[in-house]
Amino acid sequence: MKTRGTVAAAVASAGILLAGWQAGTQAGGTSIITATGTTAEGSGGASGTNGSAPDSATTKGTTKGTTSGTTAAGTFTGADVQTRLGSVQVQITVAGGTITDVTALHLTDDDRKSIQISNRAAPVLRSEVLAAQSADVQTVSGATVTSGAYLTSLQAAIDAANL
């Protein structure tokens, strides 16, 4: 069982990395890649960004901005990440190569509890990302699925911005 979880995590991670790489190499374009994997939260399941992996990730990122060398500017939309609780998509605003804003375009909303969790996690994640200037932040306790999907979408947007 542990081997199957490890293999699923590796396949999901490889798919997400490939999606981010393709999104970053197609500036101004749209790429569509689907990576599927399973997660068993709290029981040593699949791991992705900071300890969690979305159920599946469909990358459909858009880019509106310019990247010249290391100085990116504009808005960059991350992958629409599907989870068992709904989809999550994040957009970043970049000026002078610095993330100046993070906007959650869509957060998990499968039920009332998902909405409450998303509403609690989103501002925490936003402030952490702005402080860290990366997707390398801790997940919000009690919002593992939402946090993982948020950070996956965020990383796709960061990759699109070539940051």
For the chain, give the mean pLDDT: 73
Indicate if the pLDDT at residue 4 is higher than 70. no
Given a cut of 60, is residue 115 above it in pLDDT? yes
Q: How long, in residues, is the chain? A: 163
Residue 38 is predicted with a pLDDT of: 28
Q: pLDDT at position 70, please?
A: 54
Query: How many distinct structural domains can be found in the chain?
Result: 1
The angle subtended at Cα 50 by Cα 47 and Cα 33, nearest 5°, is 65
Is the pLDDT at 65 greater than 80? The verdict is no
Kindly calculate the radius of gyration of the chain based on its CA atoms and give it in whole angstroms: 15
Q: Is the pLDDT of residue 157 over 90?
A: yes
Query: Where does the chain have alpha helices with state H?
Result: 2-25, 112-132, 144-160
Range of the domain at 9: 2-160
pTM: 0.61
Helix (H, G, I), strand (E, B) or coil at 66: strand
